Amino acid sequence: MNLFLQGGEVATENEAPKRADVWIVDGVIKAVGVIDAPADARVVDCTGQVIMPGMFDAHVHFREPGQEHKETIYDGAESAINGGITGVVMMPNTAPSIDSPTVVKRVLDLGKKCRIPVHTSACITVNRAGEEMAPIAGLKDAGILMLTDDGDAVPNAALLKRAMEYGTEFGMFFASHCEDPQLCGPRALNEGPVSYRLGIQGTPALAEEICMDRDIRLAHATGATLHIQHVSSAIGMETIRWWRDERGAKVSGEVSPHHLMFADEDIGDYDTHYKMNPPLRTREDNAALLQGLKDGVFRIIATDHAPHTEFEKSQAFVDAPNGISGLDTALVSLHDRFITTGEFGWDLLVKRYSAEPRRMMELEVAEVAEGKPADLIVFDPEKETTFTKEFMKSKSSNTPFLDKTLKGSVEMVVLGDEILLERE
């Protein structure tokens, strides 16, 4: 490869985009700056476009093994590429669960067939049942860093405490799906005026917040490092801030695009595209979570990409599965909703959706800088993207953005010496 990206603006995690050309030779960035195009290079006009590191999503559900009709690992990776994402971390709530070195090896072997790095987390408890600790030492030897029973909380606090003590000795960290099962009800939608109007028992934010406080207390007591997944409420966000800043707990959090953008009132008349867990809360929660992202309470943005078939999502609201397909749409939607409106800039997005997720997973941070491996995307902020089923690469299209047109387009994805995506 001898590729010259000319006339674009390079975005980093530390500053707004600046005019620069990028020259890539054999998968390595040879030069960045305002330079003359080499005579033998392929020149791509990037005028008006933003060149930035590839995004990294540390919370995805690829459904394989066990539910390949919803998504395979390969399809999920292609969906990520389509959205400008060049690395992912799978969650372990597959069938069978990713709770043993054998299943870890199987999943990672499938991931090696993909065009981007596919990492995985593993379970805290056997089969995510909350009754017996998973073989943590063996999981560490298999290459696991993150332990989570995502999809459910660990119900037994004593078991979680022992796992935290043991896993911390191996340098692993824990990620918590926080939810009190006695309070959450049918896990359908937020408790409030909308649930009352629709006649469905709602899940109060308290169900999430109580469990969050419990898990952070356990982590703080054991010295464990804890990451709180898909935070949905203002009080939950402030709980992380307080434990981190006032008590020195080693706790971080993530926010999903849908919890920044949508609220329970968007559900309308039982639109299951807006049904997810934790549920969408209120406009006030949206605003608080956005401020928490700007303030750095949330270490990362993560989609919680959760594909389901059209048939499954066509069921009655309470019966339909929770989840939103997010990899194809995340970057464009974040640009459309927040960058075009001036809520935040490219630097924050690169930091929270590219650099920090990789740091959390102890991976090399992607940089558009001389001497670094090529791991970058080209984004056109003036073009538009319409998210039709044909455009999306995910096997499922359960998203509120289906058939919607948003501002922005991922035009090119480069990883190593390959161009993984180039729009016509």
Catalytic amino acids?
A: 304
Per the CB < 8 A criterion, the answer to whether 419 and 3 are in contact is yes
Torsions phi, psi for 312 (to 5 deg): -60, -40
**Residue listed under structure tokens 């356990």:** 218
Cα three-residue angle 413-419-421, rounded to 5 degrees: 50
Would you list the DSSP string of 188-255?
-SBSSHHHHHHT---B-HHHHHHHHHHHHHHHHHHT--EEE-S--SHHHHHHHHHHHHHH---EEEEE
Q: Is residue 82 helix, strand or coil?
A: helix
Peptide bond into 381 cis (omega under 30): no
Q: Is residue 315 helix, strand or coil?
A: coil
* Cβ neighbours of residue 47 closer than 8 Å, sequence gap 6 or more: 6, 7, 8
- Which of 242, 264, 255 has its CA nearest to residue 288? 255
Would you list the DSSP string of 96-137?
S-S-SHHHHHHHHHHHTTSSS-EEE-B-SBGGG-SSSB--HH
Q: What is the dihedral of CA 61, 65, 69, 71, to 10 degrees?
A: 30
Amino acid at 339: I
Other Cβ atoms within 10 Å of 284 Cβ, number: 11
Helix (H) or strand (E) holding 181, with range, is helix 181-184
* CA separation for the pair 363, 381 (Å, rounded): 28
